[in-house]
Amino acid sequence: MHLLSLHLLVMARLGGPRIEESRLASWRALLNAHARVIQRVERDLQAEGLPPLSWYDVLWPLYRAPGRRLRISELADQVVLSRTGMVRLLDRIEAAGLVRREPVPEDRRGTYAVVTGDGVEMLRKMWPVYARGIDALFLAPVGDDVAVVRDALERVAKRDGSSED
């Protein structure tokens, strides 16, 4: 599954900081919803002999980028993965012929990852599976609340967090 990621869960008070039960339930729901959809999509991809979502997560930003290329560090920042992890992930995707590495002319320390034609082809095969999952497993049950959910979760995602601690 996904690192995913990776856990459902339950949680507690135990005398520490109190969080009202119904508010805690919303966090639990997010964990469960995430786990369920990801797990299911991964299974569907595997069932069709396609690569895991992590490959999609790499190929798609490359496809969108100018010149169909991004530097390895840029890529690692977009996907939630350490620089080291990205190097290894690219090793595998490159071995499959979906990406190739090219030197960066202006900075000889850097390396571009570039999607190949086969990589774009793979995106075309993976997207329908992914889209079906998003639609049936997530968007359908959310229904008319989609706008509220989007706005709320975008506030969470964009939270700086530097004010805390």
Partner DNA sequence: GAAGATTGACTTCTCAATCTTT
Partner DNA sequence: AAAGATTGAGAAGTCAATCTTC
Interface positions with DNA (CB under 7 A): 1, 3, 6, 52, 54, 71-73, 81-85, 87-92, 101, 104, 107-111
Residue 69, beta-bridge partner list: 114
Q: How far apart are CA 124 and CA 117, in angstroms?
A: 11
User: Of 22, 66, 108, 109, which one interacts with its own copies (CB under 8 A)?
Assistant: 22
Distance in Å, CB of 31 to its own copies, minimum? 7
Helix 21-47 and helix 53-64: axis angle, to 10°? 90
- The interface partner of residue 23, options being DNA, its own copies, none and the CB cut-off 5 to 8 Å by kind, is its own copies
Q: How far apart are CA 20 and CA 4, in angstroms?
A: 27
Q: Tell me whether residue 18 or residue 109 sits nearer to DNA (CB atom).
A: 109
Q: How far is the CB of 92 from its own copies (least distance, A)?
A: 15
Residue 66 as a binder of its own copies (CB under 8 A): the answer is no
Evaluated on CA atoms 146, 149, 153, 155, the torsion sign reads positive
Q: Which of DNA, its own copies, none sits in contact with 55, Cβ below 5 to 8 A by type? A: none
CB-nearer residue toward its own copies: 9 or 95:
9
Q: Which does 96 bind (CB under 5 to 8 A by kind): DNA, its own copies, none?
A: none
Name the strand (E) or helix (H) holding 87. helix 83-95
- Integer Cα distance of 127 and 133 in angstroms: 10
27 binds, options DNA, its own copies, none, Cβ within 5 to 8 A by partner type = its own copies
Q: Would you say 75 and 62 are in contact if contact means Cβ atoms under 8 Å apart?
A: yes
